[in-house]
Amino acid sequence: MRLKGKVAIITGGASGIGRSTAELLADEGARVVVADVDDVQGQAVVDALRRREVEAEFVHTDVRRTADAERLVARTVERFGRVDVLVNNAGVNILGDVVEATEDQYDLMMDTNVRGTFLCTKHAVPVMRRQGGGTIVNVASVAAVVGAHRNVVYDASKGAVLNMTRALAVDHAADGIRVNCICPGLVDTPMTQRWLAGQAHPDEIRRYGLLQRPARPEEIAQGILFLASDMSSYMTGGYLAVDGGFLAV
Ligand SMILES: NC(=O)c1ccc[n+]([C@@H]2O[C@H](COP(=O)([O-])OP(=O)(O)OC[C@H]3O[C@@H](n4cnc5c(N)ncnc54)[C@H](O)[C@@H]3O)[C@@H](O)[C@H]2O)c1
């Protein structure tokens, strides 16, 4: 078991990649805190973990809100005494070019994807520092390093997450905190179903990379496990593309 006795927070853990990550990290021995705005699905993930005798908690969290991020970390420490792993996975994507995208959509994507990562990390780092270390995995996207049609705000937000990862790694290496980023290609999740439904440009639909299929969420969770655990002990400030070869061409 790669995470025996560790405590892991997964934001956006109610669905898709976050849900698979909660399940895999639990399989590897972690006690798991699922944080999400979706109380029904989030509690269902936790209930399913508990049926497998995993120690798990759901904490209602809107990662855009300071008080929620603070409470998420406080509840985790109250319940489990520590925070070893933070997976900043909660994210949203609304299609639109710069003319189509509204300011409200801009705020929603930047606040969830960037501010949410900032706030949860802000409150987790002091706990990790006191413990002598931890790992943070930010879920960015291949959209952090390439542009896609009608994805202008999302691409900007994921680029910010990628470079925030590097800056966090610089600041907290001396605290024993490793910070890395995962860049998935297209993954078969509810987000992708919504994204493909609104995507008119044929090139986008072909964008599965060399493997010609979307990833299963479990395949992204394996990359997150690698970055969260000692398997990646010599890695910080980096990114791992789990993209079916998307960035290779
Ligand atoms: N699906 C893909 O193809 C893909 C590719 C690259 C990166 N990603 C990234 O992976 C992450 C997970 O995406 P997914 O495909 O599993 O999406 P999803 O829509 O299935 O799950 C996202 C989860 O985040 C939660 N969430 C949304 N806003 C929140 C908020 N303010 N506070 C807390 N929780 C919130 C949702 O309720 C949901 O449970 C996102 O950051 C996304 O940008 C997804």
Domain assignment present for 248:
no
* Residue type at 62 in one-letter notation: D
Query: Is residue 208 among the annotated active site residues?
Result: no
User: Does the reported pTM lie above 0.75?
Assistant: yes
> pLDDT tens for residues 40-73?
999 999 999 999 999 999 999 999 999 999 999 9
Containing domain of residue 115, as a range? Answer: 7-238
Q: How far apart are CA 99 and CA 215, in angstroms?
A: 31
Q: How many CB atoms lie within 10 A of CB 72?
A: 26
Domain assignment present for 1:
no
Domain assignment present for 42:
yes
Domain assignment present for 249:
no
Alpha carbon of 11 to ligand 1 centroid (Å) = 9
At 134, phi and psi to the nearest 5? 170, 180
Domain assignment present for 2:
no
The percent helix, strand, coil of the chain (3-state, each to 5) is: 50, 15, 35
From 191, 196, 239, mutation site for ligand 1 pocket: most ligand atoms within 8 A of C-beta: 191
Measured CA distances, 7 to 128, 138, 168, 181, 198 (Å): 11, 17, 20, 19, 38
Q: What is the CATH number of the domain that holds 23?
A: 3.40.50.720
Domains of the chain: total? 1
Selecting among 106, 154, 208, 239, the annotated active-site residue is 154
> pLDDT tens for residues 176-235?
999 999 999 999 998 888 877 776 665 655 567 899 899 999 999 999 999 999 999 999
Domain assignment present for 204:
yes
Alpha carbon of 90 to ligand 1 centroid (Å) = 5
